[in-house]
Amino acid sequence: MEHVLGFVALAAGLIIGLGAIGACIGIGLMGGKYIEASARQPELMNALQTKMFLLAGLIDAAFLIGVGIAMMFAFANPFQLA
């Protein structure tokens, strides 16, 4: 039984860790492309900034959904037998 709980803890750590890495890489790439695009066409900076913040929120939302699922497994473990 203890090995199942150990695997659940390992899975929760992987979900949070890999989700954080993915979100950081995604936001970093998006920010770099925003800087490049606004340097090429400064007149579009406001429209690009709005789209960039919208995408940043969606990237963070996907990561936070993963955190919520990991917390559900950690604290309300559906695999724990009575």
- Please confirm, yes or no, whether 24 is among the known catalytic residues: no
pLDDT per position as a tens digit, 15-58: 999 999 999 999 999 999 999 999 999 999 999 999 999 999 99
Catalytic residue among 14, 20, 60, 62: 60
pTM, rounded to two decimals:
0.78
Alpha-carbon distances, residue 52 vs 16, 21, 29, 55, 79 (angstroms): 23, 19, 11, 5, 39
What distance in Å separates the CA atoms of residue 57 and residue 32, rounded to the nearest whole number? Answer: 16
Res 11 pLDDT > 70: yes
Q: Are 35 and 28 in contact (CB under 8 A)?
A: no
**What pLDDT shows up at residue 9?**
84
Q: Measured at the alpha carbon of residue 68, what is the angle toward residues 3 and 72, in degrees to the nearest 5?
A: 40
Average pLDDT over residues 57-69: 93
